Amino acid sequence: MVQEITDKNFEKEVLKSTLPVLVDFWAPWCGPCRMVAPVVEEMAEKYNGRLKVGKLNVDNNTLIASQFEVMSIPTLIIFNGVEIAERIVGAVSSSELKAKIDDCLK
């Protein structure tokens, strides 16, 4: 299940999560974001129980987007606690994202 991440719940849902967290920084008007959305949802199902997956709308949550210097969307960041394990900018294929997640879960 893909969870909505906001400026308000980011610390609790991402930084204090017991699981690694994939956060999709996106906006509704972004074409490449819409292309990558099904891939993000697929990863949420595939890694259920091993990885938390969330989406953060950068238009509504500018504080977190600027804190992590998200300049282009989509940006996918895999957090392991407070550490950034991986940052992917731009649309990505399912196999490419899976490989990055697998590396982070080792």
Catalytic site positions:
30, 33
Amino acid at residue number 58? V
DSSP 22: E
The token duo for 39 is 């891939």
Query: In 10-93, which ranges are continuous DSSP H helix?
Result: 10, 31-46, 62-67
Cα angle 61-63-69, degrees, rounded to a multiple of 5 = 105
- Count the Cβ atoms, other than its own, within 10 Å of residue 11: 12
Q: How far apart are CA 12 and CA 2, in angstroms?
A: 16
